[in-house]
Amino acid sequence: MRVSGLMLPSKNRFGSHWLVGVMLLAGNPLALAQSNTDISTQTKAARHSFAIPAQDLGSALSAFGSQTGIQVSYEARLTANTRTRGASGQLTEQEALARLFQGTGLSWTLTADRTLLLFRREEGSALNLAPSTVIANGIATETAEGPVMGYRATRSATGTKTDTPLRDIPQSIQIIPRQVIEDQQIINLGDALANVSSVQRGNSHGGSSESFVVRGFQSRTYAIDGMLMNPLVSRPEVTRDLANIERVEVLKGPASVLYGQGDPGGLINLVTRKPTFAPEAEVTAQAGSWDFYRLQTSASGPLDDAKTLAGRITVAGETKSGFRDTFQDNRRTYVAPSLRWQPSERTTVDVGMEYTDLTSQFDRGVIPQNGKIRMAPERFLHEPWSHDDADKLSAWFRIDHDVNEWLTLRQTTRWDDSYKERYVVDLRGLESDGRTLNRRVTDGDEEVTTLTSQFEAIATFDTAGIGHTFLVGYEYLKGDRNASSYRAALDPIDIYEPVYGATPSSPFEFSGISDYRLESHSVYLQDQIALNEQWKLLLGARYDSSQQENKSVDSDYVTTPTDLDPEEVSPRIGIVYQPTDWVSLYAGYSTSFVPQGDIDRNGRPLDPETGTQYEVGAKFDLIPDRLSATLAVFELTRENVAVPDPEDDEYSIQTGEQRVRGVELDVSGEPLDGWQLIGNVSVLDAKLTKDTEYEEGNRLQGVPTLSGSLWSSYQLQSGGLRGLGFGAGVFAAGQREGDIANSYDVSGYARVDASVFYDVNEQVRVSLNGRNLLDREYIETVQTTDGNYYGEPASVVATVSARF
């Protein structure tokens, strides 16, 4: 037995070890050690700047004991020939210990007199493949890209590209962990984002895609593992499957300083599930209303005896007819294999692919009449043959290498290729009788290819007692988008007494071709500065230089080339003040930009559209280590918006401006053992402030003044019914305008969902989820005259899931 101690310089090293994720150690996870010691909340929450590199476990524990004043006591044989990946960053003592012991096969406990005791964990004989989460001393270890224990996340890389506590980031970031996705039985991204304040569904483009309104502004695309998808598209190429998603994160407000050109409302980042070195597998089968059937499976584990190579494979397939009077089922197939190679303690290589195949009935929803939408929810205005097919293949690799204890190098490359084929009915407008709807047919296709590479270096060091985490990066992006279409006339339809069977007139006539090519080079810098234990400063800037060649050919075969060469500098600054361990006050300024292809009367392309945000807020623990909240107040302005030239509407000028002011509150956590909750509420004043065509003061489309949601679940922790759980939630939004002209609006709604579930044993769960239990008739999505969709009537989904 020995007691060790050694002082270590105060550095905040960011290393690649956090990419490994939190892994499930062999045996029953319930057998992992949990302390019965009553440690004070102050001790639990206090954070230290750790910089313990990968080394033998004994030396690492000596460094830990010296820095924290904790006595470390153990038999030397326990740590013999055992290495640790280290612990770096601003961490609590429990978080640091959990990282040091990760993968060692050892457990620990902290006594009342602050002595750390070690012992070897008993290995269970049964194979338990629950989600890979390490629990040590009752505290779950969390990394920015790993699993979250429960509903409350505490770390993210979305806002800084480094593994950073949420309380240290001067911007609102909301996270939907995988447990929320599973408890609510979520299968699409829109339902997941309903748990985040100030996020509404946007136009689904006939049901073949998805977009969102974040803080009042359209969000055209999203990021995957920190890499923004193709900025040339106006919406994602396919609907996203969540089978391989570990967490959904939303960075509120402009994010151009790290992600380049993007929309001002915010950035949605999807963090994928990574391969694990502890074996795990799961199968989930679902069946529900409207002929919904889904099967998904995922398996992960080591692929060699030395455990340097691990793999994961995720497969999902589903089919659904929907509640509307359509004629074709919507089908989606998803396959995602990935590998993780760790040839040494300093290097991690991730390689992966994704393939999505989507076939859907094209459906633009319902249309407004005289300022309101009064059509029956099931009314279908297209034809049985109207469909939209798409597929997308993605491949990527990422290499992280710790050069030494203070420098990490990272290289990431991603390639995306998608193809979409559309044979659809377009809705053209009502005739004067108010019931005859004109239509046409479009036969078109679109192919999009993108290659993105990022090279980054992260250095952690001190200057005169001030800690720095410095990030420098270079990004290269090359994208191509080619779309063509042919059109034909189609008989109109009576919206009240529809008769189907119309066929397109012949022949189809050429409508147009558009070809967009984008190449950009970007350099970005960021410094996370720990001035002291209470004050933290974030500084960042990015320079983007793009070359965009746009060429369009209209129906008269007239070619119009437009070359754009925008350059933009995007600054960001934020400050955090933490007067106590349970509250973090922050203020921040951030910007965004989006190049646009409109031209003025002189043939000159317009300047990029920009966004500017001022935000102040507070992040605090309502219950320490259990229940957290974020309160944000912001003003977000979208400037340089292209509007029609009042002297010639074939051209544009840049006088448009839109502004959103708002207050948001997001809450998540586990108030009591077994009781999980996640909720939000937002109040937004979103309006048009400058325009040449529409009245200033008009409300922005699809943005409610008041919206929010609350979901809570509870699982019995003891007794004969242990394992039985219940969940219930309310999702609400106020009145919304349908377009920027405010020519029609839709009423607000409140939808009630619920669930009941039972863990038959540690491996098998059965559940029943109900949606819109009160069978309310409401418009869930309102986006101009061809993007209005009713929410689903009362429905149920039954699920059986097993982990082996």
β-strand pairing of 223-224 with 266-272: parallel
Per-residue confidence at 42, pLDDT binned at 50, 70, 90? Answer: very low
| CA 323 to each of CA 118, 330, 779: distance values in angstroms, whole numbers, following the listed order | 58, 12, 14
- d(CA 748, CA 5) in angstroms, rounded, equals 62
Q: How many CB atoms are closer than 10 A to CB 306?
A: 8
DSSP 507: S
- Residue 276's pLDDT band, with cuts at 50, 70 and 90, is very high
Q: pLDDT tier at 34 (50, 70, 90 boundaries)?
A: very low
Backbone angles phi, psi at 205, to 5 degrees: 55, 50
Average pLDDT for 208-224:
89
CB contact at 8 A, 522 and 542: yes
Cα distance between residue 101 and residue 108, in whole Å = 9
pLDDT band at 282 (very low <50, low <70, confident <90, very high): very high
The C-alpha atoms of residue 210 and residue 191 are separated, in whole angstroms, by 11
Q: Is 373 in contact with 417 (CB distance < 8 Å)?
A: no
Residues whose CB falls within 8 Å of the CB of residue 712, separated by 6 or more in sequence, listed in order? 675, 676, 677, 678, 679, 727, 728, 729
Query: What would the mean pLDDT of 705-727 be, rounded to a whole number?
Result: 94
* DSSP per residue, 675-693: EEEEEEEEEEEEEEEE-SS
How far from 433 is each of 80, 379, 502, CA to CA, in Å? Answer: 86, 18, 21
Q: Is the pLDDT of residue 119 over 90?
A: no
Question: If DSSP codes are grouped into helix, strand and coil, which group holds residue 477?
Answer: strand
Show the tokens assigned to 11: 């550095």
Residue that wins the pLDDT comparison between 95 and 266: 266
Backbone angles phi and psi of 303, in degrees to 5:
-115, 0
Rounded average pLDDT over 595-604: 72
Q: How confident is the model at residue 686 (pLDDT cuts 50, 70, 90)?
A: very high
Report the share of the chain in percent with pLDDT over 70: 90
Sign (positive or negative) of CA dihedral 533, 574, 213, 371: positive
pLDDT at 114: 79
Mean pLDDT, to the nearest integer, of 247-253? 96
What is the C-alpha separation between 183 and 315, in angstroms, rounded?
20
Q: Which of 751, 734, 752 is nearest to 682 (CA)?
A: 734
Q: Which amino acid is at 376?
A: A
Is the peptide bond between 507 and the residue preceding it cis, with omega within 30 degrees of 0? Answer: yes
Average pLDDT over residues 339-349: 94
What pairs with residue 436 in β-bridges? Answer: 494
Radius of gyration of the chain (CA): 27
* Domain range list for the chain: 2-140, 155-270, 271-373+382-803
CB contact at 8 A, 254 and 278? no
633 strand-pairing partners:
616, 663
Each residue of 417-454: pLDDT tens digit? Answer: 999 999 999 998 899 998 999 999 999 999 999 999 99
Span 696-708, mean pLDDT? Answer: 95
In this prediction, what percent of the chain has a pLDDT beyond 90? 64
Identify the pLDDT of residue 92. Answer: 80
Decide: 570 and 539 in contact? Cβ < 8 Å.
Answer: no
Q: Which two tokens stand for residue 706?
A: 């008041």
Report whether pLDDT(129) > 90: no
Residues 448, 229: Cα–Cα separation, whole Å: 11
Is residue 296's pLDDT more than 90? Answer: yes
**Cα separations in angstroms, 667 against 146, 183, 713:** 21, 17, 14
Three-state secondary-structure class, residue 373: coil
For the beta carbon of residue 783, count every other beta carbon within 10 angstroms: 23
Whole-Å CA distances, 490 to 364, 386, 704 = 16, 12, 36
Q: What is the pLDDT of residue 58?
A: 83
Architecture (CATH level 2) of domain 271-373+382-803: Beta Barrel (2.40)
| pLDDT value for 650 | 64
Tokens 């925008």 belong to residue: 566
* pLDDT at residue 413, rounded to an integer: 97
Task: Please provide the DSSP assignment of 640-654 as one string.
Answer: EEEEEETTEEEEEEE
CATH fold for the domain made of 2-140? Phage tail protein beta-alpha-beta fold (3.55.50)
Distance CA 787, CA 454 (A): 36
Q: What is the DSSP secondary structure assignment for residue 205, as one 8-state letter?
A: T
Tokens found for residue 494: 């009576």
Instruction: State phi, psi for 178 to the nearest 5 degrees.
Output: -65, -30
Kindly report, residue by residue over 615-634, the tens digit of the pLDDT. Answer: 999 999 999 889 999 999 99
| pLDDT-based confidence at residue 112 (cuts at 50, 70, 90) | low
Torsion angles phi and psi, residue 69, rounded to 5: 80, 10
**What pLDDT, in 10s, does the model give residues 738-751?**
998 999 999 999 99
The model's confidence at residue 484, banded by pLDDT at 50, 70 and 90, is: very high
Residue 211 has pLDDT above 70, yes or no: yes
User: 């911007």: which residue's tokens?
Assistant: 171
- Residue-level pLDDT at 11: 35
pLDDT in tens, 547-569: 888 888 888 888 888 887 888 99
Q: How confident is the model at residue 664 (pLDDT cuts 50, 70, 90)?
A: very high
3-class state of residue 279 by DSSP = coil
Residue pair 697/703 in contact by the 8 Å Cβ criterion: no
Q: Which residues contact 463 (CB under 8 A, 6 or more apart)?
A: none
Q: Are 408 and 440 in contact (CB under 8 A)?
A: no
Choose the most confident range, by mean pLDDT, from 46-50, 56-60, 509-513: 509-513
Report yes or no: 301 and 276 within 8 Å, Cβ to Cβ.
Answer: yes
DSSP per residue over 71-121, as a string? EEEE-HHHHTT-EE--EEEEEEHHHHHHHHHTTSSEEEEE-TTSEEEEEEP
The answer to whether 199 and 212 have CB atoms below 8 angstroms apart is: yes
Average predicted confidence (pLDDT) for the chain: 86
**Number of CB atoms found within 10 A of residue 147's CB:** 26
Identify the pLDDT of residue 135. 39
Rounded Cα–Cα distance for residues 702 and 698 (Å): 12
Which CATH topology does 155-270 take? Ferric Hydroxamate Uptake Protein; Chain A, domain 1 (2.170.130)
- Tell me the two tokens of residue 70: 């904790």
Tell me which residue of 572, 553, 552 sits closest to 562, measured CA to CA.
552
- Contact between 445 and 420 under an 8 Å Cβ cutoff? The reply is yes
User: Exposed, middle or buried, 415 (CB in 10 Å: 0-12/13-18/19+)?
Assistant: middle
- What pLDDT is attached to residue 203? 84
Q: What is the DSSP string of 749-773?
A: EEEEEEEEEEESSSSEEEEEEEEST
pLDDT for 687 beyond 60: yes
